[in-house]
Amino acid sequence: MSEEASIPSARGAVDLSSLSSHQLQATDADAGTQQATWTMQLDEASFQQFVALSQRVPAIVSLGSPRVQVSVDLDTALKQLVDARAGSLVLGLVDAEAYPQIAQAFQAQQIPLVVALVNGQPVPLFQGPAATDQIEQVFGQLHQLAVQQGLSGTVPPFAGQAEAQPALPPLHQKAVDAIDEGDYAAAEAAYLEALNEKPNDHEAQVGLYQVRLLSRTQNLDLNQARAAAAANPDDLAAQLDVADLDVVGGHVEDAFARLVSLIARLADEDRERVRRRLIELYAVIGNNDPRVAASRQKLARVLF
């Protein structure tokens, strides 16, 4: 895997039609336990139904072998990170030696190989070992691609029970439902209504910032945005676009550094505009996040 993986466009679907549909089975390690998991072992019988899940959320396929330690370590990391996302991603583990037909479908030349399926289309992620932070960055980019293609919901776990969540207030639920449908304008309206009823509703405020971020980035192309920002360093809109995309893609520190540096060069209304965007992005990431705390210190030095 390269130092920083990129997500190509989802093109060139492989022929998966020869693999039959069957009931999904959870991994043996999770069977009979109560801890929720969105990870499963795949065979030729269960693979096609797993592919069908990619119409709802990104479906990640890890082609490896239990006899190769690099594969075992990678699958352990992938499982932890996928399960932590509570159904916004699913993971299928394939023993490429036991099921070579699946490996051939992805034209795998060596293992481990990790590929995502988005709306049935393969999206190569990385090959070989990967550190946790690298996987997180790739997952962030994959989430961005999924949102652009209208996949922003979740699916139930394959095994175990997800931790019960308290019911959302009606307007919050209305916003979440709208996000799942890709209707960001309706979601924003619901959060604004909630804030009108309760101005100190922190969850609604953060939700509003999140949905605005999704709305701003849904039609942006990362490469085009970066090129525009590099060519026009004083173009505020271009710089803000790249910062938004960096947050969505998991490059949080890069986004914060870009905006703090920009604020240092600005004055008056332009400075305030960028500062407000940065505060919104702080809230999206979470004010207790150490990256936010570090950036706030740098912002304070610039402002005062």
Domain ranges for the chain, please list them.
1-162, 170-217, 222-303
C-alpha–C-alpha distance, residues 39 and 163, integer Å? 16
Written as tens digits, the pLDDT of the chain (304 aa) is 333 444 444 333 344 434 433 334 444 444 444 578 888 888 877 887 888 888 888 889 998 888 888 888 898 989 988 888 888 889 999 988 888 888 888 887 888 889 988 888 888 888 888 888 888 888 888 887 887 777 777 888 887 654 555 678 999 999 888 887 778 899 999 999 999 999 999 989 999 998 999 899 888 888 899 999 999 998 999 999 999 988 877 788 999 999 999 999 988 999 999 999 999 999 988 887 888 899 999 999 988 8
- For 88, residues 6+ apart whose C-beta sits below 8 A from its C-beta are 57, 58, 143, 152, 153, 154
The pTM assigned to this predicted structure is 0.54
CATH number (3.40.50.720, 1.10.10.10, 3.30.450.20, 3.40.30.10) of 1-162 reads 3.40.30.10
Give alpha helix (H) positions in the chain. 44-53, 69-84, 100-105, 132-148, 170-180, 184-197, 202-217, 222-231, 236-248, 252-265, 268-285, 290-303
For domain 222-303, the CATH superfamily is Tetratricopeptide repeat domain (1.25.40.10)
DSSP 119: T
Structure tokens at 130: 């990967």
